[in-house]
A and B are shown apart, each in its own frame.
Chain A
């Protein structure tokens, strides 16, 4: 076990020496790998922010039922009991027009506008959750509610959440595609660098074989080189994403504030960071392994 560990330690040290022997080339390679990885990692960070934004809004489809402003409270209560008794309704929450007015007034941007009005412009409303949340069932309920006396307008509130969710799903798919493509790019980079290293170290490989080195012994430093390139590139990607987060945070918060949205960029969390480094290291190792499989026999 001690000898095995010593072998791996020597291979790692040799890989490190080879990497640092040509610092400019190595740094440029790490930057190339880092940029390739930063794109999906940054995309993941943006998606997390958007997901959080969507999560703040209710993801449960709801129907808003607005009464006509002139409707008497008695009629409204009658609608309320009809909703409660309806077989398709799971829950109906009443929003009195006075309550809506007071909530809107608490928004500094709207207070002045509302104060300028002579009367309360908001109607009584119900927020309805349906038992069956399938779009067709929700549409059917909305059509039925529209026919009830005193009901002015019926709105499916969840439509934009669903649209955002669909966009997020599309974003996730696109991100996976991008990650796959750029992961392939990382493998290609380490493949090429390992091939160059095998050609450069041809004499050493030949001598080592003659002195009794096993193929595993010869391959190991090259695999560690791939691992180091991947890990180094992953670290560069992490730094790029962290830098971009800091740089973009203030302007994005300002923009989100204009739309009354709470959208903040956060740097990659611990789990995402570990995942990034693990993926980068594995892809680097894989690229080196492919390259050795392809080129080692020719050395």
Chain B
């Protein structure tokens, strides 16, 4: 599913975020990417999402080399990926329902099917009764769950989550982690950048240190 082949990423003016990184992740696996702040966890996710390009090496997702992906093909590639951002990136002028609806509107889903999917996604993360609420009215944990609902509503093959349990209390963090594990259990490949490995028992781990794989 995902293959990193000697991937390096350098940001101007010469900061190495990732150096010579190689690993593989099969379909349906769950991978935790750990490391200290600035270790390169977010950069790794951004490379997979096509938000950044590798400076050298190859990132392959589903056999597709992202370096050769055209600008016009990139949006369609991103529709196959669910992303939970570190800062959630919710739209604060739209209610929970409309936030989750956004990826389906972008993909051009028929209205009725889209509505069913949105409600199912909100139910799955426990926000079924809060679809009219604006994000500002939700707690931190609820906002994170809303971000997960938006990431999974398109039923992606691959779910990327960047520090999804950061800034959450222990119980809420455990709830969010459980939701991600449940998606993995139904066959979704899940890649989580986190330092809270204990919330995902049994998951494969990849530890980064200054952009390099720590063995």
- Chain A interface residues (CB < 8 Å from chain B): 2-4, 6-7, 10, 203-204, 206-214, 217
Contact = CB atoms under 8 A, between A and B. Distances in A.
Nearest to A11: B105
A51 B142 CA distance: 70
Contacts of B64: none
15 contacts: A3-B110, A203-B89, A203-B91, A207-B89, A207-B102, A208-B102, A208-B106, A210-B51, A210-B85, A210-B89, A212-B76, A212-B77, A212-B106, A212-B107, A213-B106
Given A6-B110, A210-B49, 15 more contacts: A6-B108, A203-B89, A206-B89, A207-B102, A209-B75, A210-B51, A210-B89, A211-B83, A212-B76, A212-B77, A212-B79, A212-B103, A212-B106, A212-B107, A213-B75
B132 interface: no
B69 to A, nearest CB: 13
Contact of A214 (B75, B83, B110, B111): B75
A210 to B, nearest CB: 6
B78 interface: yes
Top 7 A-B residue pairs of the complex, sorted by shortest distance between their CB atoms: A212-B79, A212-B78, A3-B108, A213-B106, A212-B75, A214-B75, A211-B103
Contact of A211 (B78, B108, B110): B78
Contacts of B150: 211
- B interface residue count range (under 10 / 10 to 19 / 20 to 34 / 35 or more): 20 to 34
Contacts, number: 46
B175 to A, nearest CB: 24
Given A3-B108, A7-B108, A212-B107, A207 B78 contact: no
B78 A210 contact: yes
Interface string B85-98: 10001010000000
A211 B78 CA distance: 6
Contact of B105 (A2, A10, A203): A10
Nearest to B151: A211
B112 to A, nearest CB: 11
Nearest to A10: B105
A211 B154 CA distance: 10
Contact of A204 (B72, B91, B108): B91
